[in-house]
Amino acid sequence: MSDLIAQFKNRLIISCQAPADSPLHDPEMIAAIAQACVNQGAVGVRIDSPDHIRAVRAKLPQIPIIGLWKRTFPTSDVYITPRLGDALAVVAAGADIVAVDATARPRPNGETLADLIAGIHQQTGKLVMADLDTYENAQLAAQAGADILGTTLYGYTGDTKDLTPPGFGLLEKLAQDFDQPLICEGGIHTPEMLQKAFRLGADSVVVGTAITGVDLLAQKFCQAIAPGCP
């Protein structure tokens, strides 16, 4: 296990992101949110887009960043760091680990997952986190050289759309059968769920919306008293 991954062991990583139409979707805002999370004990952060990664790196030079770049293409459903060029931009901005969609879905430029992971390793030397939805895709990601396996896309793909995160069942199976470090991500809404993820074998847990999803949380409370709001 690398020193970087060892830092995450039994600790909390916080995803600091905001919707594109939110006033919080600003590099300096995201960096401030990340700083607040680290101040309260987060050992690392997960950040989307080179601009936001760059701002967080400037504010938190010593904190591990899991970086990604959400890109959408008409020819593919893959959107988390879909191409090698996107991954290289994430690393250039300051990410320590690159998160990539590791599902079996076709990538927008025809790259294979194995080619993407190999390219990241060869051109940057950085670790790769495989954002997964199923056990079968975990097998493929491990064979392709992924350094970390995450349950990030459980419930968010065509194959898992009828399942509700967190993917505790998937996590437990991965913990039994794989040697790669495991990160539980997606649907962790309470400290109790966080603790359960660790009991089931997670090496680390990423929490996002439950902590940093200001827009969605405010909307949820407003809709409780005024359905249809905003």
Average pLDDT value for residue range 96-110: 95
Domains of the chain from N-terminus onward: 3-225 (3.20.20.70)
Binning pLDDT at 50, 70 and 90, where does residue 135 land? very high
Compute the distance between CA of residue 90 and CA of residue 196 in angstroms, rounded to an integer.
Answer: 31
* Closest to 89 in 3D by CA, of 64, 46, 131, 54: 54
Tens of pLDDT, residue by residue over 136-160, are: 999 999 999 999 999 999 999 999 9
- Contact present, 97 and 64 (Cβ < 8 Å): yes
- Looking at residue 229, its pLDDT comes to 77
| Residue 12, phi then psi, degrees to nearest 5 | -100, 130
Strand partners, 68: 48
Q: Residue 230: is the preceding peptide bond cis (ω within 30°)?
A: yes
* The pLDDT of residue 28 is above 70: yes
Integer Rg of the chain from CA: 17
Strand partners, 48: 68
Tens of pLDDT, residue by residue over 169-227, are: 999 999 999 999 999 999 999 999 999 999 999 999 999 999 999 999 999 999 999 88
Binning pLDDT at 50, 70 and 90, where does residue 79 land? very high
- Contact present, 184 and 171 (Cβ < 8 Å): yes
Percent of the chain scoring above 90 in pLDDT = 95
- Looking at residue 1, its pLDDT comes to 54
Q: Kindly report the average pLDDT of the chain as a whole number.
A: 97
Rounded to whole angstroms, what are the CA distances from 190 to 119, 166, 207, 221? 37, 11, 9, 17
- Contact present, 56 and 67 (Cβ < 8 Å): no
More confident residue, 2 or 199: 199
Which residue, chain included where needed, has tokens 């769920």? Answer: 193
- Looking at residue 2, its pLDDT comes to 79
Helical residues (DSSP H) of the chain, grouped into ranges: 3-8, 27-39, 50-59, 84-93, 113-124, 135-144, 168-177, 191-199, 209-212, 214-225
- Looking at residue 109, its pLDDT comes to 87
